[in-house]
Amino acid sequence: MQTGSTQARLRIRESLDAHPELTVILDASGGPSSRLRGRLLGHGEGTIRVQLNTALGASLLVSIAGEVDTGKGRAPLLGQYRVLSCRITGIGKYQAELAPEAVREEPVNAPAPSSTDDADYYEILQVSRSADTDTIRRVFHVLAQRYHPDNIDTGNDEKFRRVVEAHAILGDPEKRAAFDVQLASQDKSRYRIFDSLQSTEGVQAELRKRQGILRLLYAKRMTDTRESSLRARDFVELLGCPIEHLEFALWFLREQRCIIRSDNNRFEITCHGVEAFEAGQSTYSKKQLVALPAPA
């Protein structure tokens, strides 16, 4: 049987759980002195109410970072807010009402920002492209705690923002599907090494084919350890080269033990292949790694 004091503690705990913690960042430095702890009390017509231990001046621009329960799961709350009002509610307690800072409209002809256009959210969260929703959520919580501005040892505002942004995309099935389509298009332009059929012939073209194949398999191994192989038609689509023009390069790489082919006709990079690719990419290492000789 629960005592009155136990029940009171439970009510307090439930009240705290219902009002998630937020971090209020006062300036761009992100230093410990610029961060305040707060609790989200609720939201209204385009505003949020936050409980703090420090008064905030009206019209002050702050950044808010944290997570809230939407009823369908945890979701990030991140952005800049303008203080509308702040009143005292008790000894050392204040309640501030804040509104999202309006996004400044860009001129119609201004180029769209491209800082995150090429961001690979899978790389940011350090998960494979085939990761399930639970894995993405678990990794997000680990990284969010690591980079949260309140973490004195490993806190990093920029990395925290990128992790939150990545989770907002990959944690939503519809947004993730759209991002996967965009990523596939980027892959084709990133890895394509030939623009015409004529450019696929010659010694230099063969060298590019080998490096292209190794680059694809290297990236696949790095980002998807559970399914690190590719089909021959994947090479065709990504490199922009017909399969008959890739057969010599595939044969050569197999003979050099840089790649292996499974019974179901899927290709995978080996340790020798990793060394060969890194040797071809690095211009700084003094160690002589396995090199790919030109065909006789």
Indicate whether 216 and 180 sit together in one domain: no
What is the per-residue pLDDT across 64-103, written as a single tens digit (0 to 9) for each?
Answer: 877 776 666 666 777 788 899 988 888 888 999 999 886 4
pLDDT at 90: 84
Tell me if 12 is assigned to some domain. Answer: no
Percent of all residues in the chain with a pLDDT value above 90, rounded to a whole number: 8
pLDDT, tens digit, 9 for 90 and up, residues 10-56? 443 444 345 678 878 775 444 455 678 888 888 777 888 999 888 88
Whether 3 is in a domain gets the answer no
- With a CB cutoff of 8 Å and minimum separation 6, the contacts of 214 are 253, 258, 259, 269, 273, 276, 277, 280
CATH number at residue 272: 1.10.10.10
Choice among 174-178, 183-187, 241-245, 247-251 with the minimum mean pLDDT = 183-187
Tell me: pLDDT of 110 over 70: no
Tell me how many degrees the CA angle 251-253-255 measures, rounded to the nearest 5. 70
Residue 282: band (very low, low, confident or very high) from pLDDT cuts 50, 70, 90: low
Same domain, yes or no: 131 and 183 = yes
Q: Which of 190, 220, 235 is the C-terminal boundary of a domain? A: 190
Q: Which residues contact 252 (CB under 8 A, 6 or more apart)?
A: 206, 210, 292, 295
pLDDT at position 258, please? 92
- The tokens of 39 are what? 């609790």
Q: What is the average per-residue pLDDT within 221-240?
A: 80
Residue with tokens 């890194």: 278
Whether residue 110 lies inside any domain: the answer is: no
**Residue at which a domain ends, from 171, 190, 209:** 190
182 located within any domain? yes
Per the domain annotation, does 10 fall within a domain? no
Q: pLDDT tens for residues 121-144?
A: 888 888 877 788 888 888 888 888
Q: Does 8 reside within a domain?
A: no
CATH code, domain carrying 183: 1.10.287.110
**What percent of the chain shows pLDDT beyond 70?**
71
46 within domain boundaries: yes
Is residue 273 over pLDDT 80? yes
User: Is 266 in the same domain as 205?
Assistant: yes
Task: Give 21's strand partners.
Answer: 39
Highest mean pLDDT among 81-90, 142-151, 178-187, 202-211 belongs to 81-90
Say whether both 85 and 154 belong to one domain: no
Same domain, 83 and 32: yes
For the chain, what is the mean pLDDT? 74
Residue with more model confidence, 97 or 291: 97
pLDDT at 284: 33
Domain region containing 73: 21-100
- Mean pLDDT, rounded, for 148-168: 85
Which position has the higher pLDDT, 42 or 290?
42
Direct distance between the N- and C-terminal alpha carbons of the chain, in angstroms, rounded to an integer = 86
Is 137 contained in some domain?
yes
- What local confidence, expressed as pLDDT, does residue 257 receive? 93
pLDDT of residue 97: 92
Residues 151 and 200 in one domain: no
- Residue 109: pLDDT band (50, 70, 90) is very low
Question: Domain tally for the chain?
Answer: 3
Q: What is the pLDDT of residue 195?
A: 53
294 pLDDT more than 50: no
Domain boundary residue among 70, 100, 130?
100
- pLDDT tens across 231-254, in order? 888 888 777 778 888 888 899 999
- Whole-number pLDDT of residue 34: 66
- Supply the pLDDT for residue 33: 59
pLDDT of residue 114: 39
Residue 179 has pLDDT above 90, yes or no: no
| pLDDT at site 130 | 77
Q: Are residues 36 and 92 in the same domain?
A: yes
Average pLDDT over every residue of 196-201? 49
Supply the pLDDT for residue 268. Answer: 92
